[in-house]
Amino acid sequence: MNDKPLTPIEIGLTAAVVAIEANEPRILVAAGGTGNEPRAGLPFGPFDPVAHRTLEIGLREWVEEQTGLSLGYIEQLYSFGDRGRHAHPGDTGPHVVSVGYLALTRTTDDADEPQTAGAAFEPWYRYFPWEDWRKERPAILDAEILPALGEWAKHSEPPSISRALARRDRVRLYFGDEGSPWDEERVLDRYEILYEAGLIEEARRDGRPAALARKTLPPLGEPMRFDHRRILATAIARLRAKLKYRPVVFELLPGEFTLTDLQRTVEAISGRHLHKQNFRRLVEAGALVEPTGEMSTQTGGRPAALFRFRRSVLQERPAPGLRVRGR
């Protein structure tokens, strides 16, 4: 029996809070970061079982304290506990296991904006520029990512690692290379292969040999504190998947909206451009919205009909979502 004392564990709570502003998906970042740390990080704090009756209550309190925002829709994502994920070199404190959450909010007035200095909604494609396909295939894929991953894939896996797919196959499947389709839901897979290949700043900061062996790193989006970019990747992947089988998109829209507003919000989240007529046929077939009888004159052109989410659809079928396909 090993009598060595166990490393103490601390439970952390981390929130990926998403909003849509001016047709752009944005993520809430909190003030923090010192010295050489990245400026951006997600709101987080320790779970106190005395002060917080539940994990979710604790998370809501930390977000409100750090950003001034009260959260609405929230769901648990995943538990993140890798060694070194939440530590600084030389740290001797407890190991932090963080419970990640996805939260959705609207920013329709000043009350929905962060009220604390240093907190702000930042474009999430700032951290994942290769994920935005709305206008065209991101240039960063062919200019930086695929050449670097191609060189990395030429080397075999270390003897201690056994995987079902070889490096070349993973690059092809996750990044839509060599004729494979781009799957917008593989956000986390793509981030983790970039980390494994040592191509992002977080890998160098964590002391990963593949990153330390490189003289320079390509500019692959802004890093975040700790493993917050990995948590954000998990949140984006979850939200993109949920669009297809749950009406979560309406948590990001005002109570009344045009069909163009709805389409641009779905495009912003999925990172894909959608064919206008096909999208409207999909919305009509799904019976997710109903007209309000009012018109919007804030479209910059002809007035457009206003719609609202048809809540009765939740009782009519188990998976009311938008199974969209980009082009």
At 294-326, the pLDDT tens digits run 998 876 678 899 999 999 988 887 777 887 765
What residue spans define the domains of the chain?
Answer: 9-126, 136-221, 247-316
Q: How confident is the model at residue 4 (pLDDT cuts 50, 70, 90)?
A: confident
Examine the pLDDT at 112 and tell me if it is beyond 80.
Answer: no
pLDDT in tens, 232-270: 999 999 999 999 999 999 999 999 999 999 999 999 999
Q: How confident is the model at residue 327 (pLDDT cuts 50, 70, 90)?
A: low
pLDDT score recorded for residue 272:
95
Examine the pLDDT at 114 and tell me if it is beyond 90.
Answer: no
Contact 123, 129 (CB under 8 A): no
Share of the chain above pLDDT 90, in %: 67
CA dist., res. 312 & res. 320, Å (int): 10
Task: Between 305 and 31, name the one with better pLDDT.
Answer: 305
Lowest mean pLDDT among 30-39, 162-171, 183-192, 209-218: 30-39
Which DSSP category does 178 fall into? Answer: T
CA dist., res. 187 & res. 121, Å (int): 20
Q: How confident is the model at residue 93 (pLDDT cuts 50, 70, 90)?
A: confident
Give me Rg for the CA atoms of the chain: 21
Site of tokens 């009260």: 70
pLDDT score recorded for residue 316:
82
> Read out DSSP for 179-194?
TPPP-TT-HHHHHHHH
Burial of 280 (0-12, 13-18, 19+ CB in 10 A): middle
CA dist., res. 123 & res. 229, Å (int): 13
pLDDT score recorded for residue 159:
62
What are the tokens at 182?
A: 């781009």
Half-sphere exposure of 181 (CA within 13 A, CB side): 7
Report, as an integer, the average pLDDT of 180-208.
95
CA dihedral of 72, 75, 17, 222, whole degrees rounded to 10: 180
pLDDT score recorded for residue 1:
52
Share the mean pLDDT of the chain.
Answer: 89
Lowest mean pLDDT among 34-38, 93-97, 318-322: 34-38
Contact 24, 268 (CB under 8 A): yes
Lowest mean pLDDT among 46-55, 78-87, 185-194: 78-87
CATH number of 247-316: 1.10.10.10
CA dist., res. 284 & res. 305, Å (int): 14
- Sign of torsion, CA 282 284 285 287? positive
CATH number of 9-126: 3.90.79.10
Examine the pLDDT at 5 and tell me if it is beyond 90.
Answer: no
pLDDT score recorded for residue 314:
85
Examine the pLDDT at 113 and tell me if it is beyond 70.
Answer: no
Lowest mean pLDDT among 81-90, 132-141, 186-195: 81-90
